[in-house]
Each structure stands twice: as C-alpha cells, then as structure tokens.
Amino acid sequence: MKGTVLHGPGDIRFEDVPEPKIEADTDVVIRIAATCVCGSDLWPYRGLQSAKGPSRMGHEYCGFVEDVGSAVTSIKRGQFVVGSFATSDNTCPTCGIGYQSSCRQREFVSRAQSPYLRVSNADGTLVATRERPDASMIPGLLATSDVFGTGWYAADAAKVKPGATAVVVGDGAVGLLAVLSARQMGAERIIVMSRTPARQALARQFGATDIVVERGAEGIARILEMTGGLGADSVLECVGTGESMHQAMAVTRKGGHMSFVGVPHGVEIDGQALFNAHIHLEGGPAPVRRYLPDLIDLVLEQTVDPSPVFDLVLPLDRVAEGYKAMDERRAIKTLLMP
C-alpha cells in the first residue's frame, strides 16, 4: 500500500510502505475511513522538530476493524472505531486516574495517514460506536480522536465552569475546538486571541463572544482591560510557543486556572514569574481516551459539530497539498479521505 512519509522539511511523499499486520495478540488492524493533518505535524514539516530519516506520518484516525489479535476482547471485526493518538492499556495506575496519554504501555501513533493502520493495546485505546455511523458523521467523529479531545482537555484542565470568563490563546483547530468545548461547559464569556478573519468567524460560530487581535504586551493589556484588571478565570493555551505561554500566564487571574495543550517549542518559563503568577497549571498530551466515549456521543447525538474545522478536504494521495495549505495558513485543518 501507499502511505505518507516525511523525507525532510517541506518534503511529504505518498509512497509505497509496508501494509500493517497483527504483530501482538493485543493489536487490531483498521481500514481508515478518514484521517487528517494535525497542526503538530507542521513542526517537523517546517524543520523545527528533528526527524531521524524518513518518517511515517499521521496520528488522527477512525475506521473499520479488519483484523483482530487473539487477546482482544472488546473490539470486533467490522466495528467502526475511534482511537487516541496515544495508545493505552486503560488499566495501569496512570490510566486509572484518567491520564491514558501517559500510560506505562503508551505508544504514539504515527502511521495513520495511510489506508490501513495497526493499533496496539486495542482494548484500551479504541472506542467502538454502537452501529456504523452515517458517512456525514465521520468528519466529526475523526475530530474526537485528537483535535476535539485536546480542545476538550484544554477546557477541562482550565476548570471552565458555568458563568466563567475564558480566554483561548490560539486560533488553530485545537484553539477553535477549545472554544466549542468551553461553550459546552458553560463559559459565559469566551475571548479568543486571533488575527485571521476566517478563523475569527469560526470562533464566533463555536461560541466566542470577543476577539482580541493584539499580541504580546498589547494583547495582555487589552485582555486585562476587558476583565477589569483581574484577568480571566480560565485560560486555555493552544499554541505551544514562548509568546503564547507568556500571554496565557499573564492574563490568568490570581487563583485562576490555566491549561497548556500546545506542543511546546522554544518555551522557557521564568521561575520567579511562575511563582508570582499564583495560578493553577495543568497541561501535557491530552488524555483523549478519557473523553472519547462522551465526545463520540455528543457528535452522534448532534449536540455538537466539530467538523467545520476541516476547511479543506482532499483525497489521501494529495496529502502533500494538505500540508502545504496548512503551512501557508490557507487552511485550518486538512481532512484526508482514502
């Protein structure tokens, strides 16, 4: 079969790769119904994250179970499943408190931009829908596998409560779905830091009440002005740069909660500034598996629709175009259909 391989900065190819097969009795092989390009994929694509030789790409996926290892008990052939970007046994002590993305048996999925995918620890990683979903539901279900799950974690970790004021730093797909998540959790005011009109419009569609275009010191000052000098109850950092982390910390009110879910690059935090911030912090790789059953139900019941973040749809063999469009900010997120 053919799959997506990154050969170097800006060099994405759809080329011959080995077809996956059962390697351990806890594995399954799924036929991909949809996959996509993640904002975090752009770090190695831009050469900002090192890769040792050609690298298979893709960690967001949903699809149909084709083959099942002998020890798998909860997943059956023919089922439609969604899985996290991090595999988990869902039984270890870390999984037991809801942090499956740090499971002791964790493996990061990295070959999903292909027609077929092997998933290890299938019982603890995959969630099957009750029945095969309508094709129109697949983009929304795909979003739960990472980008919606990560946005939900951003809101949950920042302790968004009914009536709260929340600030979302970042207008990428995760930031936009963090807006949707904060709205679902009852935030009364949601301020989004964004400079792009199309993304601002989608943020408002998802529930944003205010847009701040300023950045740096000006952006911080603007949000403090909007919040009576206090800062926000909940701040959701969804980028991963030093600037975004600094902005997020600076606009979180004393005693407030800040989450950070953007993969960090070049982030350094001054210890004295952190000490004086007097805020609650939680972040890291989103424990998507914790939320998957509930998010899948929200999508299937049409309570929410995260699929508008996919503003470019391409066949899988045109994956290189999808990377280029996102790199140039001509697309928020590229949906890939085999």
Average pLDDT, 10 consecutive residues per value, the chain (338 residues):
97 98 98 97 90 92 98 98 98 98 97 98 98 97 98 98 98 98 98 97 98 96 98 97 95 98 89 94 98 98 98 98 97 97
If we measure between CA atoms, which residue out of 336, 305, 333 comes closest to residue 198? 333
**Given the DSSP bridges, would you call strands 126-128 and 80-83 parallel, antiparallel or unpaired?**
antiparallel
* Residue pair 40/60 in contact by the 8 Å Cβ criterion: no
Q: In the chain, what are the domain boundaries?
A: 2-146+287-337, 150-283
Domain 2-146+287-337, CATH number (from 3.40.250.10, 3.90.180.10, 3.30.470.20, 3.30.56.10): 3.90.180.10
- pTM for this entry: 0.97
Q: Which amino acid is at 82?
A: V
Spatial separation of the C-alpha atoms in residues 157 and 98, rounded to whole Å: 12
CATH class of segment(s) 150-283? alpha beta
* pLDDT at residue 182, rounded to an integer: 98
Where would I find the beta strands (DSSP E) of the chain?
A: 2-8, 11-16, 28-36, 55-56, 61-68, 80-83, 116-119, 126-128, 165-169, 189-193, 210-212, 232-237, 252-260, 280-283, 312-315, 334-337
Spatial separation of the C-alpha atoms in residues 164 and 152, rounded to whole Å: 16
* pLDDT at residue 276, rounded to an integer: 93
First to last CA, the chain: 11
* pLDDT at residue 315, rounded to an integer: 98
